[in-house]
Amino acid sequence: MSRIKFSQLERLLMRELIYFNQANKYKELAKNAPNLYQWVFSNFYNILVPINLTLSISVIFLLSYIVYKSRRKII
């Protein structure tokens, strides 16, 4: 029984690691997709990615906190 659960965990970890490795494959900001990064040169990739990740996570936590402290009921 524990071997079955362990193999499921192994598959889950391997799948997530594969996606993590794929995320680091392309070091370009736009990849010809329409977004705000198309006006920024790819030279700034290493600078902008950590800044934007931090900003995005901060906004998510801020909005979560506002919703948590809100007195209105959310369905």
How many CB atoms neighbour CB 72 within 10 A?
A: 5
Cα(55)–Cα(52) distance, integer angstroms: 5
Which contacts of 14-18 are long-range, i.e. CB under 8 A and separated by 24 or more positions? none
Please give the pLDDT value at position 1.
47
- For residue 24, is pLDDT > 70? no
Q: Nearest-CA neighbor of 28 among 41, 17, 19, 39? A: 41
Give the pair of three-digit tokens for residue 61: 């936590």
Taking only the tens place, the pLDDT of each residue in 38-56 is 777 778 878 888 898 899 9
Q: Which residue has the higher pLDDT, 42 or 63?
A: 63
Q: Which residue has the higher pLDDT, 28 or 4?
A: 28
